[in-house]
Structure 1
């Protein structure tokens, strides 16, 4: 069976981020490797990415890798990114995720109509108006969006002169565009994330990049789905006690 080209590109991305030789096994397989410099998770943690029916796992040391292999042996792929089942199998100190990993291509992209909103393009993440939006949104939401890591222009919508929604992307390996979207609390539920996110995704696709939407909140996942993104996997980071 021919694998979805989006899955193939996503596999290549996360294999690169593992920073040691590793590959997604045939469907149903889980490959655990030692990678102290893994980009799948914070330093010293265990990183898990399941995509297209198989998974790769990075561990910071041989000892941790043995613990993880023993704990995950025999579990189905979907279980290795299930926070409840992983907590039952491993001595977890802290956990991040799981976050859904979604991707889109030109043929599947569904641009959002801007309607009465005007989407403005700003120079990027350091613009004062984008910084102001992050302050209004609060530390948790701003941290989740990570607009400060954007390498693209910022695509924003203003209301009464103030930026109330912004989106862009950070350049990742394998010509991937990691999309970031943030809306001010009082402006949510009005489609602004979809409008600004659509502009960012269109910009990435025009440059031949692979847009990636990583999200935990259900609202963000719904925005991605509305734009044509397909959830192909999940990412989970675990600190072993």
Structure 2
């Protein structure tokens, strides 16, 4: 089921604050039929105006970036602008490179979670780092597990508290605006497709809910594995995000 109206408003509030809008801006835009909002980044430091992001959320959309990009994109449909290739083309003269094209999911309920008797949950950052040491570099970069605000690492256990192996999976969340818990999951390559990622993700979601945060899942476009995990955990599709970097 889609998230309820109250949860949706909190999600819209969080993104309004992330993108530098008034608190009710995205909610109002969605209610008005989904008009596009623009946030022009005017920063004389030459740093903040090097990034641009296009977010679609519950029918509304926001383009955040330098003024020249907003002008170039104004006549483009949202479906076209959301494409990674479009953003790169618009920024070609500014050495544009993609930081990602993602789909956004949210949940307002905790998935059913039967505690395992074969893996224990560690809250120690060192165990998250040990898991990362066993995973491909691209996966480590995408998830950023050890850098998240809270981490939950699964370690094989004999049921009596004694570890019987190295970490097999982990999840965590990063707090956004004190409202959203951005969830990431990392699974050791040799034990994938065994449900460990979903189990770790459910633990992270439960902990995020406990802290009063709405869980967010962000999957790279075309990453069917991440999208399957989202469905298993009860996340509902809400929009997309495409981000590019200029002049780097």
| Superposition pairs of residues 89-104 of structure 1, within 5 angstroms | 89-91=90-92, 93-104=96-107
Could you tell me how far apart the structure 2 residues matched to 1:202 and 1:151 are? 15
Of 212-221 and 113-122, deviating more is 113-122
Indicate which of 51, 54, 60 corresponds to 1:48: 54
1:7 aligned counterpart, secondary structure: helix
Paired residues of 1:36 and 1:44 also in contact (CA < 8 A): no
Q: Match of 2:161?
A: none
Q: 1:88 to 1:150 in 2, by over 3 A?
A: closer
Could you tell me how far apart the structure 1 residues matched to 2:245 and 2:143 are? 22
Larger Rg: 2
Q: Match of 1:137?
A: 135
Could you tell me how far apart the structure 2 residues matched to 1:97 and 1:151 are? 22
Q: Once the two structures are superposed, what CA deviation does each residue of 1:124-144 show, in whole Å capped at 9, x if it has no partner? A: xx22x2212111112210111
| Superposition pairs of residues 154-193 of structure 1, within 5 angstroms | 154-158=152-156, 160-193=164-197
Number of residue-to-residue matches in the alignment: 226
Q: 1:20 to 1:6 in 2, by over 3 A?
A: closer
Give 1:7 shift: 2.8
TM-score using structure 1 length? 0.82
Q: 1:74 to 1:119 in 2, by over 3 A?
A: farther
RMSD: 2.6
1:162 aligned counterpart, secondary structure: coil
Paired residues of 1:27 and 1:52 also in contact (CA < 8 A): no
Indicate which of 181, 186, 205 corresponds to 2:209: 205
Paired residues of 1:157 and 1:196 also in contact (CA < 8 A): no
Give 1:53 shift: 0.9
Q: Match of 1:238?
A: 244
Give 1:117 shift: 3.9
Gaps of 5+ in 2: 158-163
Could you tell me how far apart the structure 1 residues matched to 2:192 and 2:36 are? 39
Could you tell me how far apart the structure 2 residues matched to 1:223 and 1:122 are? 22
Establish whether residue 17 from structure 1 lines up as the match of residue 18 from structure 2. Answer: yes
Q: Match of 2:122?
A: 121
Give 1:113 shift: 4.2
